[in-house]
Chains A and B, each alone.
Chain A
Amino acid sequence: MNTIIALMPAFLRAVGGVISLLEGTNAFSEGFSSVAEEVLSAAASLVERGDEAANELAALTNSIVAMGPHDPTQEQWADLEARSNAAHAAIQAPSAPA
Chain B
Amino acid sequence: MHHRARSPFFLFGFSSLGGALVALLLLTLALYGCITRPVSVAKDSEQRAYALYGEFVIFEEEASRLRGSVPAAVYVGVQRADAVAKPTADSLLQAVHDYDTISAQLRAGNSTQDKLTVATSNLQTWVTQAETDVENLVSAVKGAKP
List A residues at the B interface (Cβ < 8 Å): 1-2, 4-5, 8, 12, 15, 19, 26-28, 32, 36, 39-40, 43, 47, 49-50, 52-54, 56-58, 60-61, 64-65, 67, 69, 71-72, 76-77, 80-81, 83-84, 87-88, 90-92, 95
Contacts and interface: CB of A to CB of B under 8 A. Distances in A.
A76 B46 CA distance: 12
Given A84-B56, A84-B57, A88-B86, 9 more contacts: A5-B35, A12-B24, A39-B21, A47-B28, A60-B51, A61-B38, A71-B50, A77-B53, A87-B64
A15 B28 CA distance: 13
B106 interface: no
Judged by DSSP, the binding face of B is helix
A61 B62 contact: no
A19 B34 CA distance: 27
Contacts of B35: 1-2, 5, 54, 57-58
The 7 closest A-B pairs by CB, nearest first: A87-B60, A90-B64, A60-B38, A61-B38, A72-B50, A60-B54, A71-B46
Interface string B23-54: 01100100110111110111110110011011
- Taking residues whose C-beta sits less than 8 angstroms from the other chain, chain B's interface range is 35 or more
B58 A57 contact: yes
B36 A87 contact: no
Contacts of B34: 1
Contacts of A67: 43, 47
Contacts of B82: 88, 91-92
